[in-house]
Amino acid sequence: MRNNERFIARWTAVSILAQSSSAVLAFIAVAASWAGVLPVILLEACLLGVGQRWALRRASVGLERGWLAATAAGMIVGRYVQFGADTSVAASTVAAWPSLVQIIVGAILGSIVGAIMAAPQAYVLARRVPRAWRWIVVRSAAWAVALPALMIAGSWLAAVSGAGLGVLVATMFASFALVGAFVGLAEGIGLASLIRFAAGWENHETDTPGNVGRFAGSLAGPTLGGQPK
């Protein structure tokens, strides 16, 4: 496995762990008290910040500087925007609209939340990575898909709510793990393309930008080309 592939794999694994764990806890916290949301946000920020910092440091020492604080800042603001929208008066109106319209609204909200969470991180990256603003676009696009997917997953959970707490929590974990895998893969591929020069991957014949695309394609099945060098 090449350097950029390792980076994407690590980034995806961190996302799966953080998103699935914090999402399950968020449902439990919100059911108990709105005051329980902030600790869940901080937990998610810590899991993502520490894990992503580790992945960045493994890619190139120095890329990780300031990442934990930037992740926490973006996460707190972004998640409160999301949870605030979910509990607003407008949310009740949207809930009465057709499902397709709800998904479109969710995609718009997801893109806004993703951009908010990415902005402090892009500021940190800008010191070391060219065109770091593209990270905002990457996260915005990823969450434009992920948030509607979470909405759909939430509707599925209603179908298993009567099967017992264990089944409900397991279904939550699996659903949000899948969404976390998508977010991690999309963000990992996007970030890998941004940091490849800073990480020195371009200095190696086997670590070319095309490997990012080949790695994503390999998830769907074997390729039909020649053998790797």
Kindly report, residue by residue over 158-203, the tens digit of the pLDDT: 677 677 777 777 777 888 889 999 999 999 999 999 988 776 775 5
* pLDDT value of position 6: 92
If you average pLDDT over each of 47-56, 97-106, 201-210, which comes out highest? 47-56
Q: Is the pLDDT of residue 220 over 60?
A: no
- Residue 77 has a pLDDT of 92
56-71 in b/e form (b: 16+ CB < 10 A) is beebbeebbebbbebb
pLDDT of 207 above 50: no
Instruction: Read off the pTM.
Output: 0.79
pLDDT at 28: 60
pLDDT in tens, 88-121: 777 778 878 888 898 999 999 999 999 999 999 9
Q: What is the pLDDT of residues 2-40, one digit of tens each?
A: 888 999 999 999 999 988 877 666 666 555 555 667 777
Q: Which of 80, 11, 77, 83 is nearest to 47 (CA)?
A: 11
**How many other C-beta atoms lie within 10 A of the C-beta of residue 159?**
9
pLDDT at 114: 96
Give the pLDDT confidence score for residue 185 in this predicted structure: 96
Task: Yes or no: say if 216 and 187 are a contact pair by the CB < 8 Å rule.
Answer: no
Does residue 126 surpass a pLDDT of 90? yes
User: What six digits make up the tokens of 2?
Assistant: 């090449």
Q: Which of 167, 223, 212 is nearest to 11 (CA)?
A: 212
* pLDDT tens for each residue of 57-87: 998 888 899 999 999 999 989 988 888 787 7
Separation of alpha carbons 45 and 41, rounded Å: 6
Confidence of residue 146 (pLDDT cuts 50, 70, 90): very high
pLDDT for residue 34: 54
Residue 209: pLDDT over 80: no
What is the per-residue pLDDT for 211?
46
